[in-house]
Structure 1
């Protein structure tokens, strides 16, 4: 089975002064501004790294939720953020890291079992597999 999801981007003009936007097929993003200024100068809008961070946080959290349920856990709350690092790489840039930070509340789980399940979810969520970069996970459990 293959699932295909689509996104699109448009640049009006070229370079730093361009007006650009990004959209998703679902409409969750529709003509959302992005470009040099939103990526490097904190102008309002989005940027590819922010979108990757949101995708990674949501993918990992979903994978962990299903993995915990598969191990028999019934109640919990998972809250994840991801910080994607963009670093100078020669003449260009490269994503060098995605740092996941998780706050987890899971009834009845011990630390060792949670660590095993969380590390597996980190390694096996589709976005983790897509990213060719260092992926870290820090978490607090039941605090």
Structure 2
């Protein structure tokens, strides 16, 4: 399996400094700063990139799980919400919400929920983020 890389460069102190994050694939390069991470400033942040990774991983994991069970999804769309909170005085990824909608012909709502929950547990990013206290899933069949 391939090794994926990204890099970040930070210049200056925490509050006044600034940085840039780049993906190995060159598909994304974005600035980040204290305001973009801990306030509502412009730019990206590590939590946003984790959310993108989790949404992408879960969508693929759900599609794969549905196929293994004999269902062919037409569409799976996922939003991941990463909650950065102060826990014991330290910034912590305290909770992640996965909100997904899937169009899957011929599946019952109960079977869909069962497969979606299993996909959440099996998703590589979910497993990597096992230290996050809570990862919830709201799955909607459309």
- TM-score class, shorter-chain normalisation, is over 0.9
Report SS of the residue matched to 2:15: helix
- Give, in whole Å, the separation in 1 of the partners of 2:84 and 2:40: 14
CA RMSD of aligned residues (A): 1.1
**Runs of 4 or more above 4 Å deviation:** none
Write the distance in 2 (CA, Å) between the matches of 1:107 and 1:33.
41
Quote how far apart the aligned CAs of 1:103 are: 1.2
**Runs of at least 5 residues in structure 2 that lack an aligned partner in the other structure:** none
Shift of 1:75: 4.0
Offset at residue 19 of structure 1 (A): 1.9
SS at match of 1:140: strand
In the alignment, structure 1 residue 110 sits paired with structure 2 residue 108: yes
Deviation at 1:29, TM superposition (A): 1.5
**Residue aligning to 1:79:** 77
> 2:14 aligned with 1:15, yes or no?
yes
Corresponding residue number in structure 1 for 2:136: 136
1:88 is paired with a residue whose SS is strand
Length-normalised TM-score, structure 1: 0.93
Moved more, 34-43 or 122-131: 34-43
CA distance in 2: counterparts of 1:75 and 1:61, whole angstroms: 11
Contact 2:73–2:102 (8 Å) recurs in 1: no
Structure 1 residues not aligned, in runs of 5+: none
Shift of 1:115: 1.2
What are the Cα deviations for residues 61-111 of structure 1, in whole angstroms up to 9, with x where unaligned?
A: 000011111211124211110111111112311101110001111000011
Q: Are 1:64 and 2:62 matched, yes or no?
A: yes
Equivalent in the alignment of 2:47: 49
Match of 1:28 in 2: 27
